[in-house]
Each structure stands twice: as structure tokens, then as C-alpha cells.
Structure 1
Amino acid sequence: MPSPDDDPLPEAVALVEGAMAAGLRLRLLGGLGVRVLCPDFPPRPHRDIDFACAGKGRRDIAAFLERSGCQPDKAFNALNGDWQMYFIAPSGLPVDVMVDRLVMCHTLDLRPSLGNSSLTLDPADLLLSKLQIFELNAKDARDITQLLSGVPVGDGQGGGPFIDTRRFGEILAADWGWWRTSTGNLEKLPKLLADSAEMIPPQARFDPAAQAARLLDVANSVPKSMKWKLRANVGDRVRWYELPEEVAH
């Protein structure tokens, strides 16, 4: 567990709150976003800070981060700033800012989440940002488990943060590749949790396997687009995901 002195969450939250106070759309994603939504669960160590912002305001976000003491990689940002920016926080941690979209194994449009009043992306987008990873590692599997243990799947009628089934179904119904990777990861979860029960946080509010099953039902029952159906005919014969490379800073 991170000690108070090396925990990046307070610094990350302060930057988002400062941006929001200045009228700028900056939101947490990644594991720190999960921690904001699930504050009672034990945190995992973090080695970086991940943000999302809108392309329309990215120059204002960059200026704000610099005023806040973040050192920009000017060469990287000049070449790649239309989709990603890179800084070093005052603490020394690397800061990645995804602009408009998260491009990894699949592409997730982040803009619908940037209009909310939360410190983070919407929970459905946070979950999708993890489920789209074809080769899950332990930290991503743990983030998925924590989200499904702490945030209800539903339509939001109960109040508070929720994993929006409408948003989830909308993404998966439009793209067979998205559907294939995400449902594959959800199907793996029960065995993963049976083999590594310690991933389920203590005092979990919800059964993560049951919530995963509900999302699978949504994924399988939502009406699919024509594009989805045509790609489904090809199936696994053609690779349906990208293998993202580490971007050098």
C-alpha cells in the first residue's frame, strides 16, 4: 500500500480540482480514477498519473498544468498533442494526458465523459478502458474487480456513481472487436477470482462476478449494428484488436 508521502492520488486530485475551478475539463482515468470511485478499498501502487481532456481545450489544459508546476515534454507534445500530451508532475511522476480518445487495443471516445461534474471519467468509460485490453495484466484485472465490487451496474436510478448499461451496450453494439475483447475479459473473470480471491476487496459492496454476468447479458442482448454483424461473420479468423506500442517520451 502506498505511504502518504508517495501516494500520487492527492496530487492528481488537486490538479483536477484546480482545472475544474478554472473552468477546464480535465478528468482522471486509469487506476487513480478507480480509487476515486472506490475510496474504501485498499489502493494498489501507482507509478504514473493518467488524465483525459478535450481536444478543444488542450492548449488551455497544457498551460494550466505548466502553471501548476508540471514540466512538459515540449517535443513530444508538439508532435503528438492532438491525441496525447506528456508532463512530469511536481512530485516527479510521469503524467499522460489523453486527448479526446484513448487509443489502445481499441479506440474509446472519451468526450462523452468530459461533460460530467466528476473528478473522473464516467464509471462505464473507466471500466471499458480496462476491458478493451486484450492481454490483461494483474493491475488491470484488479482495477476491473474493484470497479465491479464498488460501483453498481445499472441505469442510475439509485443515485450516486453507476456503470451505465446504456453506454456500455452502445459501445459494444457498434463494434464487434470491442464486443469480442470486452466479453472475453468478462467471461474470464469468475475463474480469475476463484483462483485469486484476494483480488476481491474486503467489504465489497457488490459481487464482481454477478456484476460481470449482468454486463455480459447486456453485451449479448443489445441490438447490434450492421457493421457489427458483418464483422462477426469474419470472427476470429482476422485479428480484431491492435497491439499498442509503448510511446517513447
Structure 2
Amino acid sequence: MSTKFVSLPEEEFADEAVGIIEKARDRGIVLRILGALAVYIHSKHERNALEIYKRIGRFGVDKPSFTDLDLAAYGRQRGDVVKLFEKELKFNYNVLMKALFMNKRLIYFHPKNHYQVDIFFDKLEFSHDVVFGDKPGKGRLDLDYPTITLTDLILEKIQIHQINLKDIIDLIIILYGHDISYKDEHEYINGKYIAEILADDWGFWYDAVTNLNKVKFFTDKFHSENKLTKEEQELIISRLNKLVKIIDEEPKTKKWRKRAEIGVSKPWYREVEEILDNQYTAT
């Protein structure tokens, strides 16, 4: 099946997405951008990061960078989100998704079919969970604007059991443009928080470490292909190593150690295909 891309220029799409977030804020709704567009927005302050994004090519050279608009919100504001998209923005919705999975996720379609919108409530549930919380004003969605935090963006990517190249490239771009910290700071990656999450979940840790190793492999590969300079490669790898060191040094919980004894002899991740088959049926 061919990939469907957003039919707007990148900057226009980004501006329109941020405009939706601003409308939500004006109505007291906490709505945040996640996924590739969040990576793009966080990279705009670092000019060279976007140049690398283009140089590597997320879907290949001369192809668009985005396939849809992914958003996160609090479930307690679900009714307000529905009103915003259906009554004010006039987006069309996926009937089956709304009927069966409204408590977790909604899918909308732009009135002119420029792009699809996926809205996740309280957490992402794919190979592993990325939890945002459920209380407006007290959850992780309140820590950044107009996107989720860089920390949660990293978790969003490294939780993928069968990670693909576009997500690896997103991680490379994030690491190029942002250093590692030990607390939540704007435009920094909170390595301590990531380490704490992984130290309590062996399955998540296993896939995360595997994926970070793949980031290193492809960073070196892109350098060998002259898609990254030596300086760019070294910066990305140094930050990657810093993050991995924090993860390694974080004390693991009893739950983690007990699950580690079982290892890969028992499934350690959620089958995403099953979720997609159940939830992506179009109207």
C-alpha cells in the first residue's frame, strides 16, 4: 500500500497545525502536536537540523516529510476536542473509530482532504505505552507548547518494536539539535525521566536500547555516505552515548529484574498490527 502524504507545503502545514493548537488553547483545551511534525517544529531553531532532515530524506529525496497530523489531548477534555474539530473546524470524522475507540483515540479528516488527524487521549498505546497523564494542568502535555516535550518525543520513537528508517531519522535529528539533561527543560531531552521509565519496564527498555543502537548504526552509515559531516556525526553520537549512559546507570526495579529473567522467550511488546487493523478502518 502506497504512503499517503500531507498535500500542503511543509511550512503551511506546520502553521495550520500550530493554528489549531492556538485555537484549542484559546478555548482552554490542552492539545499538543507529536510525531514528525513535532520533530520539525523543535528543529526550526537549529537551522542546520532542517538541512540535515532534507539531506537525509525522511521518505527519500524530493518526497514530502509528513503523512498526517498527530495530536495528544487529555481524555477529560474529549468533549471539547470533539466540539472544536467537528463544530468549529468542520473536520470529518471516522465513524467506526468514534463509535468504538473514542475513549482512546479519534481520527479526523481535513475538510478539503489535505491531511488526516489522529488524536490520542492520555497516552500512546503502541508497542509500549507513553503516558501523558489525564489531568489538565498537571500532566506532561502541559510541559511544552505547541508540541509534546522532546523527552516524550524520544519515548514515542524508541517504543516502536519494529522501528523504521523515518523514525530513526527523527531520532537523529532530535539528538543533533538537542542536548541531554537530567530534568525537564525547554529544548532539552530529560535523560533521567527516560531512564526511570525504562528502568521499570524491561520490555520497553529492551526495544528502546535496541533502537538506540540502530540510531548509532545509521548515524555512522549516513556519515559514510557523506550525508552527515564528521562534526555532525560526532555530535549526534556524543549525545546518544550520554543518553545511553544515563539509561544504563539508572537502578532497575524489582519488576524489571524479574521480567529480565524471562527475556525474549515471552513476548515483551504489544502487536501494533492488531491495533491498526481494529482502529484504522476508514468510513
Given the two structures, how large is their TM-score scaled by the length of structure 1?
Answer: 0.90
Cα contact 1:146–1:201 (8 A) shared by 2: no
Query: 2:214 & 2:96 partners in 1: Cα distance?
Result: 41
Query: 1:204 & 1:91 partners in 2: Cα distance?
Result: 40
Compute the displacement of 1:36 (Å).
1.1
Give 2:24's aligned amino acid. A
Query: 1:89 & 1:206 partners in 2: Cα distance?
Result: 41
- Alignment partner for residue 244 of structure 1, among 263, 268, 272? 272
Cα contact 1:29–1:51 (8 A) shared by 2: yes
1:25 matched to 2:45? The reply is no
List runs of 5+ in structure 2 lacking aligned partners. Answer: 59-64, 134-138
Corresponding residue for residue 46 of structure 1: 66
TM alignment of 1:119-198, pairs within 5 A: 119-155=146-182, 160-197=186-223
Query: 2:207 & 2:165 partners in 1: Cα distance?
Result: 17
Cα contact 1:142–1:199 (8 A) shared by 2: no
Compute the displacement of 1:97 (Å).
0.3
Give 1:221's aligned amino acid. E
Deviations 1:81-137 (A, max 9, x none): 111101002352111001111011111112232122411111111111001112111
Corresponding residue for residue 62 of structure 2: none
User: Structure 1 4/239 Cα, relative in aligned 2: closer, same or farther at 3 Å?
Assistant: closer
Query: 1:87 & 1:162 partners in 2: Cα distance?
Result: 31
Give 1:52's aligned amino acid. A
Compute the displacement of 1:62 (Å).
1.4
Deviations 1:20-76 (A, max 9, x none): 121101000000011111113145511210000011101111111221232122332
User: Structure 1 172/88 Cα, relative in aligned 2: closer, same or farther at 3 Å?
Assistant: same
- Alignment partner for residue 59 of structure 1, among 79, 83, 97? 79
- Alignment partner for residue 237 of structure 2, among 209, 213, 220? 209
1:108 matched to 2:141? The reply is no
SS in 2 for 1:196: helix
Corresponding residue for residue 102 of structure 2: 81
Corresponding residue for residue 94 of structure 1: 116
Give 1:69's aligned amino acid. K
Corresponding residue for residue 41 of structure 2: 36
Compute the displacement of 1:239 (Å).
2.1
Cα contact 2:195–2:247 (8 A) shared by 1: yes
Root-mean-square deviation (Å): 2.5
Compute the displacement of 1:18 (Å).
1.1
Compute the displacement of 1:204 (Å).
5.5
User: Structure 1 49/232 Cα, relative in aligned 2: closer, same or farther at 3 Å?
Assistant: same
Deviations 1:205-233 (A, max 9, x none): 98121111111111111111111010011
Cα contact 1:149–1:201 (8 A) shared by 2: no
- Alignment partner for residue 14 of structure 1, among 10, 19, 29? 19
Deviations 1:144-171 (A, max 9, x none): 11111111111359x6321112211121
User: Structure 1 201/85 Cα, relative in aligned 2: closer, same or farther at 3 Å?
Assistant: farther
Cα contact 1:29–1:126 (8 A) shared by 2: yes
Compute the displacement of 1:142 (Å).
0.8
Compute the displacement of 1:201 (Å).
8.9
- State percent identity of aligned pairs: 26
Give 1:61's aligned amino acid. V
1:229 matched to 2:283? The reply is no
Give 1:211's aligned amino acid. R
Aligned residue pairs, count: 247
Given the two structures, how large is their TM-score scaled by the length of structure 2?
Answer: 0.80
